[in-house]
């Protein structure tokens, strides 16, 4: 599969660096009914070392996201409600790059930094350089001691979102959950995200998983249930184009669009672990050859902790309320997070 790719390559200040004409080749990957188009990217691109940008530390000290930075994953941390930290707003130019189709490919969890390395962005994704630098400037400042010990992964998702739908249908969840497969637990994940429109919804409330067993229970379905118990009363959203930093205890879910809109979502994740899931994009600016493994939550055969809860809260989006697969193209099942209307 080929897609023509053509846009002016510019540096961080917007100066034209020439026009790039290239065809991007995609590799198709399919497993268990999931389809991925992996762009085959250049080994050339942008490289930089982040420079810490000074912010007002006082504003951050009370944030549990900052307090729990670099600590091992601990389910007890879910009991402390936490709002993502605001990292600031995109410039007009950065925002514009997210509001239209540019030909840059979508990528899922592609490594852009290894422990001890600089940051490397393949040329096809260079248009996101200043947004990525923004996250790294904050990270290098707020996490000066440990930032260089992490892997960093980039996700770019984009496309037209239809009214009443999500860019990616999902239950309430966190990014970087460490389930039964991860023992002992490693450092928790923290992630920078931003989108031009339809910002993610976060649920700033305590979550209690003391009675759950991570070998049996689906924690994301339980997050759905505990959000529904409050009728989504603690939902919070950042603004359009506001970059935030969350950690792996910030429960969230995408938001339904109210009108048709082109949306680009950028995610920059700092992680202690190798992300080797089949479907993740490869960055040829690094030499690595992880065996990529088909992996999804369905294979774990987890069940709901509260078996009698509203069925919409405990099925996958591609299943109907009886847990059977929906036909191809059928609308996804949404969790009813506002049962009281």
Residues forming contacts to Fe ion in the complex (CB under 5 A) are: 175
Instruction: State both tokens at 310.
Output: 């509203």
| Closest listed residue to residue 7, CA positions, set 130, 97, 119 | 97
DSSP 3-state assignment of 278?
strand
Please name the residues in contact with 186: beta carbons below 8 A apart, sequence gap of 6 or more. Answer: 72, 73, 178, 272, 273
Q: How far is the CB of 173 from Fe ion (least distance, A)?
A: 6
Q: Which is nearer to Fe ion, 255 or 319 (CB)?
A: 255
Q: Which is nearer to Fe ion, 94 or 175 (CB)?
A: 175
Q: How far is the CB of 203 from Fe ion (least distance, A)?
A: 12
Q: How far is the CB of 174 from Fe ion (least distance, A)?
A: 7
| Residues 69, 245 contacting (CB under 8 angstroms) | no
Instruction: State both tokens at 260.
Output: 């048709």
Q: Which is nearer to Fe ion, 130 or 195 (CB)?
A: 195
- How many CA atoms does the CB half-sphere of 205 hold within 13 Å? 20
Q: Which is nearer to Fe ion, 130 or 189 (CB)?
A: 189
CB closest to Fe ion, residue no: 175
Q: How far is the CB of 171 from Fe ion (least distance, A)?
A: 10
Q: CA-CA distance, 217 to 87, in Å (whole number)?
A: 34
Q: Which is nearer to Fe ion, 124 or 175 (CB)?
A: 175
Strand ranges across the sheet with 85-89:
85-89, 242-247, 190-195, 261-271, 151-161, 107-113
Q: How far is the CB of 25 from Fe ion (least distance, A)?
A: 28
Q: CA-CA distance, 47 to 78, in Å (whole number)?
A: 36
Q: How far is the CB of 178 from Fe ion (least distance, A)?
A: 15
Q: Which is nearer to Fe ion, 129 or 175 (CB)?
A: 175
């Amino acid at each position: 599969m080929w897609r023509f790719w053509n846009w002016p390559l510019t540096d961080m200040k917007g100066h034209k660096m020439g026009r790039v004409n290239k065809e991007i080749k995609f590799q198709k990957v399919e497993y268990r009914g999931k389809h991925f188009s992996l762009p085959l990217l250049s080994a050339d691109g942008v490289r930089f070392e982040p420079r810490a940008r000074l912010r007002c530390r006082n504003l951050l000290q009370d944030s549990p996201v900052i307090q729990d930075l670099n600590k091992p994953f601990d389910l007890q941390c879910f009991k402390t409600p936490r709002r993502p930290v605001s990292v600031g707003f995109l410039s007009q130019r950065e925002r514009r790059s997210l509001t239209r189709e540019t030909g840059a490919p979508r990528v899922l969890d592609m490594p852009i930094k290894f422990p001890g390395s600089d940051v490397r962005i393949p040329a096809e994704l260079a248009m996101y350089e200043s947004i990525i630098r923004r996250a790294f400037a904050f990270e290098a400042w707020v996490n000066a001691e440990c930032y260089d010990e992490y892997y960093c992964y980039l996700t770019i998702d984009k496309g037209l979102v239809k009214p009443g739908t999500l860019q990616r249908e999902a239950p309430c969840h966190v990014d970087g959950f460490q389930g039964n497969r991860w023992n002992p637990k490693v450092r928790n994940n923290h992630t920078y995200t931003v989108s031009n429109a339809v910002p993610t919804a976060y649920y700033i409330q305590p979550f209690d998983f003391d009675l759950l067993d991570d070998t049996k229970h689906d924690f994301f379905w339980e997050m759905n249930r505990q959000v529904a118990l409050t009728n989504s009363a603690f939902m919070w959203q950042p603004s359009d184009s506001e970059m935030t930093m969350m950690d792996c205890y910030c429960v969230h879910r995408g938001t339904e669009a109210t009108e048709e809109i082109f949306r680009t979502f950028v995610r920059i994740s700092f992680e202690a672990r190798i992300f080797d899931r089949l479907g993740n994009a490869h960055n040829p600016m690094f030499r690595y050859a992880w065996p990529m493994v088909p992996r999804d939550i369905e294979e774990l055969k987890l069940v709901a902790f509260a078996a009698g809860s509203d069925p919409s809260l405990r099925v996958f989006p591609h299943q109907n309320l009886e847990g059977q697969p929906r036909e191809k193209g059928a609308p996804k099942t949404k969790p009813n997070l506002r049962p009281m209307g």
